[in-house]
């Protein structure tokens, strides 16, 4: 065995993750919002890059961005009339309660104390200020604390100012003209076993029938456990699809939503630096920023074309879903082979990307699901299994709900699909469907 030491030259090849390659991979994984923010950041660092969010300009066909010289425009931009912005103003809970407080003829000291309470409510309307904290911070007695709580609980919405779920529900029940003594008793003293469906024990404890407890549950479910819900919410955010799927002359077509991205322009003022050779430092700086701009455009174009290729492969594979709503089992490998890319590329491409179809707007990842083999050899997707579980549960006898094992047996008997009880429980939980014991009704 030769163990001598020496210097040997050896030529090898290896893949190096360059900064440009990292940028291209990151852009592919970005959502539309993240990509827009990234372009804005690049515009701050690169003086040659200028962005615009205007959609009135004509886009260049087959191009993800609009690259043109800046045109000077007159008039204000981005300043909507004040009257058009009134509809976006949301009344917060604090403002809503403070306005009611000002209308009441209380002493000034009482108003100040109630206002302090109002500023200690959480987003659901529950009071976060404990008795001990109020006594120490406001220099009041325990009796005064409970008195202020009762005053606050008379405000709109009913139930605000409660310190617990039980108190919130009781305040709402006591404000109703018709009384429900059984429901009040359950909420006051037996809320936990009632929620755990220990109804047989509860019926014996309260000397009532299961039907009466069922009626109490139906009534309690009409109450609002979050009385302040809806106050101070931000404006609803809408998803802008990255891709549209439309049918044209009997063929499904994929259309990229390039309008959702900012328009990139070459700044006219700094463009002159590319043609000036008298200042070498400025000339070199301008050329380096120009190369960054060109690389960014190429990376965005590559991102869009990859999204198009992956979406077209999904459309080809899921034509049955687009036609009649039947989702086929599909994995990353299925699409990677059709789009001629790596599975990791498919994963990055479908991450946080949305597609608008005639059947609604979906995340691209929603089309991927593993399947279970049926007796005929065909695969049934998990999405189809979930639909069957939900449909069977909706149609079941509520007094004798189906257990997870019975659902698994039904799949075996009717669909020829062998599925475990634990898998049924998993698919049921993913749809927020309670277990059979909690679905049972006595009326």
292 falls within a domain: no
Q: Which residue, 256, 242, 258, is CA-closest to 353?
A: 242
> How big, in percent rounded to 5, are the helix, strand and coil portions of the chain?
50, 10, 40
What's the pLDDT tens digit per position in 7-62? 878 787 765 556 666 767 778 888 888 888 888 888 888 888 888 765 444 333 33
> Quick check: 101 and 115 in contact, CB under 8 A?
yes
Question: How confident is the prediction for the chain on average, in pLDDT?
Answer: 82
| Coil, strand or helix at 381 | strand
- The residue among 220, 248, 270 that closes a domain is 220
H or E stretch at 198: none
403 falls within a domain: yes
- In the prediction, which pLDDT does 216 show? 92
- The residue among 176, 199, 220 that closes a domain is 220
Q: Which residue, 126, 91, 110, is CA-closest to 102?
A: 110
What's the pLDDT tens digit per position in 372-401? 666 555 667 777 788 889 999 999 888 889
Low-confidence stretches of the chain (pLDDT < 70) are: 1-2, 14-21, 23, 53-91, 232-237, 273-274, 276-277, 371-379, 443
359 falls within a domain: no
Total domain count for the chain? 2
198 falls within a domain: yes
- The residue among 193, 220, 247 that closes a domain is 220
Query: Can you tell me the distance from the alpha carbon of 134 to that of 202, in angstroms, rounded to the nearest whole number?
Result: 37
Domain residues for the domain of 401 are 371-439
What CATH code is carried by the domain that includes residue 434?
A: 1.10.10.60
Q: Which residue, 402, 393, 327, is CA-closest to 365?
A: 327
335 falls within a domain: no
- In the prediction, which pLDDT does 229 show? 82
In which residue are the tokens 């082979």 written?
A: 337
184 falls within a domain: yes
339 falls within a domain: no
Q: Which residues are paired to 247 by β-bridges?
A: 252
Distance of CA 363 to the CA centre of its chain: 11
H or E stretch at 165: helix 165-174
- In the prediction, which pLDDT does 97 show? 92
Query: Can you tell me the distance from the alpha carbon of 156 to that of 263, in angstroms, rounded to the nearest whole number?
Result: 48
User: For residue 428, what are the contacts with CB-CB under 8 A and spacing of at least 6?
Assistant: 389, 393, 404, 407, 435
- In the prediction, which pLDDT does 378 show? 62
H or E stretch at 52: strand 49-52
Please work out, in degrees rounded to the nearest 5, the angle formed at the alpha carbon of residue 267 by the alpha carbons of 261 and 269.
165
103 falls within a domain: no
User: For residue 437, what are the contacts with CB-CB under 8 A and spacing of at least 6?
Assistant: 197, 401
């Amino acid at each position: 065995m030769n163990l001598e030491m020496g210097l040997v030259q050896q030529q090898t090849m290896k893949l190096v993750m360059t900064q440009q390659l990292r940028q291209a991979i990151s852009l592919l994984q970005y959502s539309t919002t993240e990509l827009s923010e990234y372009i804005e950041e690049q515009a701050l660092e690169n003086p040659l890059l200028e962005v615009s969010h205007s959609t009135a300009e004509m886009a260049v066909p087959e191009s993800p961005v609009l690259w043109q010289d800046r045109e000077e425009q007159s008039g204000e931009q981005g300043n909507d009339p004040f009257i058009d912005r009134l509809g976006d103003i949301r009344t917060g809970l604090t403002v809503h309660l403070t306005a009611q407080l000002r209308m009441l003829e209380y002493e000034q000291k009482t108003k100040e104390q109630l206002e302090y309470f109002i500023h200690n409510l959480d987003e659901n309307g529950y009071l976060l200020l404990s008795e001990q904290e109020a006594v120490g911070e406001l220099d009041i007695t325990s009796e005064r604390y409970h008195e202020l709580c009762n005053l606050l609980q008379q405000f709109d919405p009913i139930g605000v100012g409660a310190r617990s779920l039980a108190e919130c529900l009781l305040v709402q029940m006591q404000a109703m003209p018709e009384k429900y003594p059984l429901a009040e008793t359950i909420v006051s003293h037996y809320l936990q076993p009632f929620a755990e469906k220990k109804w047989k024990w509860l019926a014996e404890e309260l000397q009532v029938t299961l039907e009466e407890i069922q009626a109490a549950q139906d009534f309690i479910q009409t109450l609002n456990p979050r009385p302040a819900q809806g106050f101070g919410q931000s404006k609803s955010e809408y998803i802008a699809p990255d891709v549209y799927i439309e049918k044209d002359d009997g063929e499904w077509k994929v259309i990229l939503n390039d309008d959702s991205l900012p328009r990139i322009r070459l700044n006219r003022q700094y463009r002159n630096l590319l043609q000036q050779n008298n200042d070498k430092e400025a000339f070199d700086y301008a050329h380096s920023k120009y190369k960054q701009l060109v690389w960014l455009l190429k990376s965005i174009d590559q991102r869009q074309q990859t999204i198009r290729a992956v979406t077209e492969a999904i459309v080809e594979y899921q034509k049955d879903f687009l036609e009649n709503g039947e989702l086929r089992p599909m994995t990353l490998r299925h699409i990677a082979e059709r789009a001629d890319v790596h599975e990791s590329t498919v994963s990055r491409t479908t991450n946080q990307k949305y597609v608008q179809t005639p059947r609604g707007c979906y995340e691209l990842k929603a089309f991927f699901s593993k399947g279970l083999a049926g007796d005929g050899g065909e695969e049934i997707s998990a999405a189809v299994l979930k639909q069957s579980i939900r449909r069977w549960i909706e149609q079941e006898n509520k007094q004798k709900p189906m257990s997870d094992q019975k659902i698994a047996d039904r799949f075996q008997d009717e669909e020829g699909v062998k599925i475990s009880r634990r898998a049924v429980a998993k698919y049921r939980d993913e749809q927020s469907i309670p277990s059979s014991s909690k679905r049972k009704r006595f009326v």
